[in-house]
Structure 1
Amino acid sequence: MKTLLNIIWLVFGGLWLALGYVLAGFVCCILVVTIPWGIASFRIAGYALWPFGRTVVDKPGGAGVATTLGNVIWLLVAGIWIAIAHVTSAIAMAITIIGIPLAIANLKLIPVSLMPLGRQIVPTSRPFVGVYR
């Protein structure tokens, strides 16, 4: 089931979403100061490409001051706008019955797009884990 959902997701938006995150990662890596956000963008791109069966958890060891400060800067510069785009896309996908799981996957990307530093993406046995927390 996860594979089927991921293939449908890939065709109906996941590929374009992942390409957007990859482009943002390249732009961030060009500037030396923003390399941590570039690496986070590449990580989110992989998650946006194949979201079902994976979830986002906090990295072991907790977030330090630098991670928290980096997340606040990201939130103010890009995170809020990316989250709005995910919500808008989720609403559009939820119009059809087949699009409801895709809308849920879009909403699942919001926490990591708001605060990407200090997070990691891990596999799970269920496709919708992390959505209902």
Structure 2
Amino acid sequence: MPFLSLLLNILWVVTGGIWMAAGWLFAAILMVITIVGIPWARSAFTIAWYTLLPFGQTAVRRDEFRGREDIGTGLLGTLGNILWFVLAGWWLALGHLVAAVGLAITIIGLPFAWAHLKLALLALWPVGTEIVTVDEAESRRRLLGRGAY
């Protein structure tokens, strides 16, 4: 991990990022307990890790990144996102929005507020996305000759 990403991730954890990661972890555990939510649990665990250390990583659409559709990027993925929104997405997004507002009050908190806003959008519609390093996303973008994700 580059030094700047490491520094930003440390500051992120100290300024409250750990609490939203705990929220994602709690959502993942609830999904596992309900049995019905198991398909979303793995994604929630992955996004919990991303929420803990967001700098140096990014969320990309899986069909655009991989170059092919799969079960999570089609109609079933849309239905999964709707169920996710009802079960856990709205309150995770709300938590990220509250954190973003609190951090945006200070100038030094603006990059962290922006990260929370990106995570709030991810919380609303996570099925069909993949968490990759920024370097992987950039090299894949160049390989496919597309604009930024």
Common topology (TM > 0.5) = yes
Which range, TM-score by smaller chain? Answer: 0.7 to 0.9
Count of residue pairs the alignment pairs up: 127
What's 1:28 paired with? 31
1:48-72 alpha-carbon deviations (Å, 9 max, x no partner): 0000111111113331221110101
Structure 1 residue 78 corresponds to structure 2 residue 88: yes
Determine which structure has greater relative contact order: mean sequence separation of CA pairs < 8 Å that are 6+ residues apart, divided by chain length: 1
- Runs ≥4 residues deviating over 2 A: none
Give the 3-state SS of the residue equivalent to 1:117 in structure 2. coil
What's 1:54 paired with? 57
Larger Rg: 2
Structure 2 unaligned blocks of 5 or more:
136-147
Give the 3-state SS of the residue equivalent to 1:106 in structure 2. helix
TM-score (norm 2): 0.78
What's 2:115 paired with? 105
Structure 1 unaligned blocks of 5 or more:
126-131
Sequence identity percentage: 44
Q: What amino acid is aligned across from residue 47 of structure 1 in structure 2?
A: Y
Give the 3-state SS of the residue equivalent to 2:130 in structure 1. strand
1:72-117 alpha-carbon deviations (Å, 9 max, x no partner): 1112332223222211210110111211111111112122211111
